[in-house]
């Protein structure tokens, strides 16, 4: 059952009562309509000269339905990770109650704890573009090997394959 985006937009708040059923259908059919796989790129200003393209980062806006499905799948993955204790205790991203800020605070505290006349060696990695380099097939194989429900693995594949973006 595909509900056209235009109907979702026109329906507005009245559509919210139908959203759980739409999400359930998408998960059970493990499909995502092609019009929901289109992201609208919006440039977000970071800092510096506003005329320099490098001072903007792209933000991809997707449909509300896709965002809700992402939230559901992410919650499921977090449950699996927590249940199997797969995340390192120092991992801050993807863990409830942790954030980039808590990561920085922890790193600063660790450095402060070592500052008693001892030299410190540190390696800082920027993995902000790491997901752009992930091989989708390898990611899907790992998810399947970790015991994820096949339906979830197929849905994730459907979500990441064939996505397009446009600038408005």
- Report yes or no on 124 lying in a domain: no
- Report yes or no on 22 lying in a domain: yes
- Report yes or no on 99 lying in a domain: no
- For residues 23 and 32, what is the distance between their CA atoms, to the nearest angstrom? 10
Specify burial of residue 69 (Cβ count, 10 A radius: 0-12, 13-18, 19+).
Answer: buried
pLDDT at residue 119 in the model = 73
- Report yes or no on 119 lying in a domain: no
pLDDT at residue 7 in the model = 66
Domain count of the fold of the chain: 1
pLDDT at residue 51 in the model = 92
Structural domain harbouring 73: 5-90+134-167
- Report yes or no on 118 lying in a domain: no
- Report yes or no on 84 lying in a domain: yes
- Report yes or no on 102 lying in a domain: no
The alpha carbon of residue 7 and the mean position of all alpha carbons in its chain are separated, in whole angstroms, by: 26
Burial annotation 11-49 (CB, 10 A radius, 16+ → b, else e)? eeeebeeeeeebbeebbeebebeeebbbbeeeeeeeeee
Would you write out the chain's pLDDT as a tens digit for each of its 168 residues? 455 666 666 766 776 677 777 777 777 777 777 777 788 888 889 889 999 988 888 888 887 777 777 788 888 888 888 888 777 777 777 677 777 788 888 888 888 888 776 777 777 777 666 667 788 899 899 888 888 888 888 888 888 888 888 887
pTM: 0.61
Which residue, chain included where needed, has tokens 């979500």?
Answer: 159
| 1, 25 Cβ separation under 8 angstroms | yes
The alpha carbon of residue 159 and the mean position of all alpha carbons in its chain are separated, in whole angstroms, by: 11
CA distances from 121 to 88, 93, 107, 118, 124 (A): 21, 23, 12, 10, 10
- Report yes or no on 138 lying in a domain: yes
């Amino acid at each position: 059952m595909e509900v056209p985006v235009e109907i979702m937009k026109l329906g507005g708040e009245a559509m919210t009562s139908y959203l759980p059923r739409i999400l359930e259908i998408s998960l059970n059919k493990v499909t995502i309509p092609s019009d929901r796989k289109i992201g609208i790129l919006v440039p977000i200003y970071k800092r510096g000269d506003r005329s320099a393209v490098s001072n903007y980062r792209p933000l991809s806006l997707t449909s509300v339905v896709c965002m809700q499905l992402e939230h559901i799948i992410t919650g499921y993955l977090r449950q699996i990770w927590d249940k199997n204790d797969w995340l390192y205790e120092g991992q801050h991203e993807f863990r409830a109650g942790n954030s980039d800020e808590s990561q920085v605070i922890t790193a600063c505290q660790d450095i402060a704890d070592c500052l008693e006349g001892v030299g410190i060696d540190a390696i800082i990695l920027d993995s902000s573009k790491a997901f752009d380099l992930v091989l989708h097939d390898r990611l899907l194989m790992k998810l399947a090997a970790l015991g994820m429900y096949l339906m979830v693995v197929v849905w994730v594949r459907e979500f990441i394959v064939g996505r397009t973006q446009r600038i408005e």
